[in-house]
Amino acid sequence: MFKSVVCELLGIKYPLIQGGMAWISDAELASSVSNAGALGVIAAGNAPGEWVRKEIHKAKKLTKKPFGLNIMLLNSNANEIARIAVEEEIKIVITGAGNPGKYIKMWKENNILVLPVIPSVALAIRMERDGVDAVIAEGGEAGGHVGELTTMSLVPQVVDAIKIPVLAAGGIADGRGLAAAWMLGASGFQMGTRFLVAYECNIHKNYKQKILAARDTSTIVTGRPTGHPVRIIKNRLARDFQELEKRKATLEEYEELGEGTLYRAVREGDMDYGSIMAGQSAGLVKKEQSCKEIIEEIFLEAKKIIVEKSKLI
């Protein structure tokens, strides 16, 4: 039912991309998702180039299916990672947290499919003009670095504005979200938060517990005054960020407080002063499963909903 142009474009069975989550989306998670028929993605985040190369090599051993590389454009060595994508013969690049315009020509000359995450119609139109293959319209329900618009408002407006395929992201964690995004006109989906509790996701057990225990109101957007708002699970770090906002702190103070905090949560399991990035959909995530179980379950659930509802017409 969900076969779409995105399946053909990316060479996958299910039109679903696993969110590229910094320090989280490694070769094991990406290859597990790809082996299950969706698109697994390695996230470069702020990691050194050598780590990115190693994960690409590992993923090539772990899967023969397509997988992608997510490049976080706020990274000070984004230029190096952009070149690594070419040198390592990556087939699909996903970008986040910025405008990838200056790299598109190089990637397209090397036959790389380019899918930028975009938070607005204006950037979607620009990206289409620059020759990308599809866009991922991400609403502010998502975890990590977020835009202002919601998925519900953003996706149909982007669908109306451009001709290339649109994938929906932000707030999707089960079949209902998938079906809703499909109805908004999306030809595919990106999902991050639900994969945090996959067996194959190598994050600290404390991080997984936080996701499983999350409720609807468990996340908050921090760092708005810096121009780079980030959605995280509420904790002491989030409260300290709020304090900075109240007293109109300098950018340096935000940087100092935020330095290394994602790594602290993901690898060290520090749930007080670690940055526990997660989307609002964390409240929907109730059990640990394999990537295969997650993917098959959400597509089956989405199909059932659409079939059931269409019987009412």
Nearer to ligand TUI, 182 or 241 (CB): 241
Among 17, 134, 145, 159, which residue sits at the site for ligand TUI (rule: CB under 6 A)? 145
Member of 60, 108, 228, 234 binding ligand TUI (CB under 6 A): 228
At closest approach, how far in Å is the CB of 230 from ligand TUI? 5
Q: Which residue blocks in 1-150 are alpha helix, DSSP H?
A: 5-10, 27-35, 49-62, 78-87, 101-109, 121-129
Q: What is the 3-state secondary structure (H, E, C) of 109-175?
A: HCCCEEEEEECCHHHHHHHHHCCCCCEEEECCCCCEECCCCCHHHHHHHHHHHCCCCEEEECCCCCH
Closest CA to 178 of 304, 10, 8, 11: 304
- If you compute the radius of gyration of the chain from its CA atoms, what whole number of angstroms results? 18
Q: Among all residues, whose Cβ is closest to ligand TUI? A: 144
Is residue 171 a contact residue for ligand TUI (CB under 6 A)? no
Integer Cα distance of 298 and 289 in angstroms: 12
Write the interaction track for ligand TUI spanning residues 55-84; mark x where CB under 6 A is met and - where it is not. Answer: -----------------x-x----------
Contact pattern for ligand TUI over residues 111 through 140, marking x by CB under 6 A: ------xxx---x--------------x--
**Residue 113 CB, nearest distance to ligand TUI (Å)?**
17
The only residue of 144, 165, 274, 283 in contact with ligand TUI, by rule CB under 6 A: 144
Taking the complex as a whole, the smallest distance from the CB of residue 8 to ligand TUI amounts, in Å, to 24
- Cα separation, 132 vs 124, whole angstroms: 10
Residues 37, 98, 225, 269: which binds ligand TUI (CB under 6 A)? 98
Residues 145/151/153/157 CA torsion (nearest 10 deg): 90
Report the alpha-carbon distance of residue 230 to residue 232 in Å, rounded: 6
Contact (Cβ atoms closer than 8 angstroms) between residue 29 and residue 52: no
Contact with ligand TUI (CB under 6 A) among 42, 114, 146, 166: 146
CA 6/CA 181 separation, integer angstroms: 14
Judged by CB under 6 A, the number of residues near ligand TUI is: 21
53 interacts with ligand TUI by CB under 6 A: no
| Region binding ligand TUI by CB under 6 A among candidate stretches 94-102, 103-111, 174-182, 211-219 | 94-102
CA distance 146 to 148: 7
Residue 19: both structure tokens together: 């969110």
Q: Which residues bind ligand TUI (CB under 6 A)?
A: 22, 45, 72, 74, 96-99, 117-119, 123, 138, 144-147, 228, 230, 262, 277
